[in-house]
Amino acid sequence: MGRRFFGTDGVRGVANSMPITPETVLQLAMAAASHVCCGKGNHSAVIGKDTRLSGYMLEPSLTAGFTSMGVDVTMVGPMPTPAVAMLTRSLRADIGVVISASHNPHQYNGIKLFGPDGYKLSDEEELAIEAAMGDSSKGLAAPEALGRARRLDDAPGRYIEFVKQTFPKGSRLDGLKIVVDCAHGAAYKVAPSVFWELGADVIPVGISPDGTNINKGLGATDPTYMCDRVQEEKADIGIALDGDADRVIIADEKGVILDGDQVMAIITENLQSQGRLCGDGIVATVMSNLGLERFLGELGLTLTRTAVGDRYVVEEMRKRNLNVGGEQSGHIILRDYVTTGDALIAALQVLAVLVRKNKSLSDIGHAFEPVPQKLENIKFSGTLSLNDELVQKAIRDGKTQLGGDGSLVIRPSGTEPVVRVMAQGDNEELICKVVDSLSAAIKKAAG
């Protein structure tokens, strides 16, 4: 059965257009309630959101859908995605829901679903929920059995304390100056508090959400301002979050970026040196740099690659019982603490290495030399088939040219009408040629 609504990270689209409409979201909540309430007894859902204006439209629809099916709802307001995952487990809820389009502009919104264990739902569970959409009226609760809704006012404090507990016991951030870019997103209150309470001198930016400025010129997808502020303030580190704070991009004191691959390298090497790394490697996606794979090889570790999407990374980590995984884009999953990407916890683990070694981040932060990569995002309207013969020939030619020392990735985005083309290898001129040739073929096929 094909997917109608769910993509690589939940349901996503332009707000107030299909499928992100109040009606469809209502049906989604009813179907999700029907899916989790397969037995008798009390059931509950946790709902969090980021700072998009459309969140005010979608939250009541979700609440109505769940309560109509007899499910109690706890609303936690603007909170990071990993906070909702944590609270779903902590509150013993049956399902957690995040209203967010993550790194996308404010015009977009989405729905992410978590199970009672705090992990994102599997493909099979999402398909089951899709199949039930529009056919949930038979499960409507009797008037006396309707669910109740409440707001959890202390949710931010619970999450702040949870995150702080992941920092090494007895360690502090005293004397460190940190620029924290919250992208006017879900962590605009909790992120500065975490670092300040651990002793840091915090320079917060992106903490004035107005419903339409989330991710606008700031955050993990646009960290230039964060890097500039690090240098202006003579800070020790810059930390940029995306709109729902499940991904992080870090800058050293010189304003030089450390992407998710470098963050994973730092954390992995540290855990291995302390005997805390589970298994013989980590998990990343097909987009991660070959330099990371070579670095891990020198440590006697392996890199297992998955399709793009932190959910697929987590599934592979669980299968292999590994505790480190992530994406180059900044989703870092540390299963010793969390069940999904958590920007604050990942940043704290980097800071823990900084404190322990008492060195500057530029000294320890660039663990490996990345090989050249080129990524091009090709926007299209309507339909596009990558099976077009012209595109397929360009793919075959590109792989032949790159040989065994490079890689080529072509994938449609799961969140927007874009095809991403990425090549990497030691020959920068060659990878640029391959990407340009393939991009031209895709643009021609798209008409």
Q: What is the pLDDT of residue 137?
A: 66
pLDDT, tens only, 163-184: 999 999 999 999 999 999 999 9
pLDDT, tens only, 8-47: 788 999 999 999 999 999 999 999 999 887 655 689 999 9
Tell how strand 95-99 and strand 108-114 pair up.
antiparallel
pTM above 0.75, yes or no: yes
pLDDT, tens only, 148-160: 999 999 999 999 9
- Planar angle of CA 241, 6, 149, nearest 5 degrees: 75
Mutual angle of helices 123-132 and 22-36, in 10-degree steps: 110
pLDDT, tens only, 351-387: 999 999 999 999 998 999 999 999 999 888 767 778 8
423 pLDDT tier (thresholds 50, 70, 90): very high
pLDDT, tens only, 288-339: 999 999 999 999 999 999 998 899 999 999 999 999 999 999 999 999 999 9
Catalytic residue (choose from 54, 102, 288, 407):
102
Q: Percent of the chain at pLDDT above 90?
A: 81
pLDDT of 388 higher than 90: no
Q: What is the pLDDT of residue 1?
A: 45
pLDDT of 202 higher than 80: yes
Compute the mean pLDDT over every residue in the chain, rounded to the nearest whole number.
93
Domains and CATH numbers, the chain: 6-153 (3.40.120.10), 158-256 (3.40.120.10), 258-352 (3.40.120.10), 373-445 (3.30.310.50)
Does the active-site annotation cover 102?
yes
With beta carbons less than 8 A apart as the criterion, state whether 348 and 279 touch.
Answer: no
Pick the range with the lowest mean pLDDT from 5-9, 268-272, 431-435. Answer: 5-9
